[in-house]
A and B are shown apart, each in its own frame.
Chain A
């Protein structure tokens, strides 16, 4: 129960971080916090009182790898944005209507 509540809290913190921060790197950190929250929820639900379900562990391992792929890809975006605007501030990317 406490793990599920923590997972939920992590997801909310991540969404708050994405909504309020302007630095693109901090936005990516917010995504990674949500990812950690979801993984924690999987692991916490795998415990049935005596043992942990191996299915959830394997799922979370793959999910961590996917999270890393997304982070790497998002950082590539930050590099390209930095080349064009000279900053990693998401407010510089405001020519489209957000």
Chain B
């Protein structure tokens, strides 16, 4: 079984929850416990797979190129472990946060389908399987964004998300069909080997389609406008999941298709990614300041962080195409990008869950109403500050190191003027993000208390937040160990 278990357990769990719900109605905690159980089985299957990479699995025993192939390298397993981790934490958090809603069997079933789709995207070995799991993930996330369907905001944000994201996935499928037309197969390894050795116009066309298609979900600059609406409209645990892992799945698909299928040595997509990445982070960082809604604030910061990840990928591709002699810089940049994926998933998950604690307590998302709330909710407030410091890139914490690695890789290429320009813009952006996060901490923690009646959240909502805060520190302390993992991720992408 192996790899297939990873997608099977959550799907079986989702079916099981729906089946149970026809017998026992409205028992949210039971469904939640069931969801956590199936995710734990998935985590167990993941531990068994780690030793076996790179491994592949043929569904129904049909070999490639016709059969459906799942395959995993260290990049896929890195992403899958992130999905399982965030999935378990978010499900645990939902037990209390969502307990006042009805229809929870659908909520947990959709949550499991979302995790299953994400996992499938990460481990699929052919492009069409990737697309099928991609749509599973997308449809589950539309439904979760609009879960509180009696209010106007989730419906509106959900419909906007659905229209934009569906156009994006169809455009990406169009790019995949062009790759199919060039090589006559959909298997990722087969396409890479049958690809013409020099560049072609169709190749560049499919690159453009794939970046803009998957870029909608990854919230790259011109296609980011769904995200600041969808994140605040969704329930807080879902915002944590969307921001922590779903947009990373978009970045993952871009990296997987561009680096493995098309190859950075054949196609010069590095410049394109650099420009998009820099534009994404600059625009998003400028738009963070005017926000009054705390979840919109965090959503714009997510877009900025995706910009950093795309920039790292751009550096790697640029170096691999323009100066193959300095290939170690490409490895460094990709390792930094992968490390930033980890830091941002943990940090932004922590921020959304901690702000969910605030929102659950005072029923307002306005930063003005939240001023000084850390004094009433010390544990949530301290965890929130920790996450904000990490994402703001304040030195000892992990977020600083991932940004530093990417900036260092830019500075290594000091002979290329484009790279120096990007380095300067990125340093300015990092300073800017440090400034607004510290400003946010100052308002949450040190201003006079606005909401006097607020009390610390219960243990079920506090434990996931504290676990993420501990992880945030643990990643910093175990830095050499994590850098080794990131190095193998970069190796998986560059070969």
Contact = CB atoms under 8 A, between A and B. Distances in A.
Interface of A: 4, 11, 15, 18, 24, 27, 31, 34-35, 37-38, 41-42, 45-46, 48, 53-56, 59, 62-63, 66, 69-70, 73-74, 77-78, 80-81, 84-85, 90, 93, 95-98
A62 B132 CA distance: 8
Contacts of A59: 128, 186
Nearest to B152: A84
Contacts of A38: 170, 173-174, 177
Contacts of B186: 55, 59
A11 to B, nearest CB: 7
Nearest to B225: A98
A62 B156 contact: no
A6 to B, nearest CB: 13
A24 B173 CA distance: 23
Contacts of A35: 170
Interface stretch (B37-45, B138-146, B413-421): B138-146
B289 interface: no
A73 B143 contact: yes
B493 to A, nearest CB: 26
A48 to B, nearest CB: 8
16 contacts: A11-B170, A27-B163, A34-B167, A38-B173, A38-B174, A55-B66, A62-B132, A66-B135, A74-B159, A77-B142, A77-B155, A78-B159, A93-B155, A93-B159, A95-B152, A97-B225
Interface of B: 65-66, 128, 131-132, 135, 139, 142-143, 146, 149, 152-153, 155-160, 162-163, 166-167, 170-171, 173-174, 177-178, 180-181, 184-186, 225, 229
A66 B156 CA distance: 22
Nearest to B158: A77
Contacts of A34: 167, 170-171
Contact of A70 (B131, B139, B158): B139
Given A15-B167, A41-B177, A84-B152, 4 more contacts: A11-B174, A73-B143, A77-B162, A93-B156
Classify the secondary structure of A's interface with B.
helix
A72 B83 CA distance: 27
A65 B66 CA distance: 20
A47 B260 CA distance: 26
A4 B181 CA distance: 10
Contact of A31 (B158, B160, B166): B166
B135 A18 contact: no
Contacts of A54: 66
Nearest to B233: A96
A53 to B, nearest CB: 7
A83 B145 CA distance: 18
Most A CB contacts (10 A, CB to CB) among B167, B186, B225 go to: B167
A58 to B, nearest CB: 9
A11 B175 CA distance: 12
B166 A70 contact: yes
Given A18-B163, A45-B181, A81-B159, A96 B229 contact: yes
Contacts of A27: 163
The 5 closest A-B pairs by CB, nearest first: A45-B181, A93-B156, A42-B177, A96-B229, A77-B159
Contacts of A85: 152
B163 A31 contact: yes
Contacts of A55: 65-66, 185-186
Nearest to B182: A45
Contacts of B157: 96
A84 B167 contact: no
A78 B171 CA distance: 23
Contacts of A84: 152, 155
B132 to A, nearest CB: 6
A63 B229 CA distance: 28
A81 B180 CA distance: 39
Contacts of B174: 11, 37-38, 41
A69 B167 CA distance: 14
Contacts of A18: 163, 167
A41 B171 CA distance: 12
Contacts of B163: 18, 27, 31, 74
A31 B141 CA distance: 18
Most B CB contacts (10 A, CB to CB) among A37, A42, A54, A98 go to: A42
Most A CB contacts (10 A, CB to CB) among B160, B180, B185 go to: B180
A84 B152 CA distance: 7
Contacts of B162: 70, 73-74, 77
Nearest to A8: B174
A96 to B, nearest CB: 5
A93 B65 CA distance: 46
A84 B155 CA distance: 9
A98 B155 contact: no
A96 B151 CA distance: 13
A86 B152 CA distance: 12
Nearest to A28: B163
Most B CB contacts (10 A, CB to CB) among A4, A53, A77 go to: A77
B166 A96 contact: no
Contacts of A46: 180
A23 B213 CA distance: 24
A69 B155 contact: no
A37 B135 CA distance: 18
Nearest to B132: A62
Nearest to A31: B166
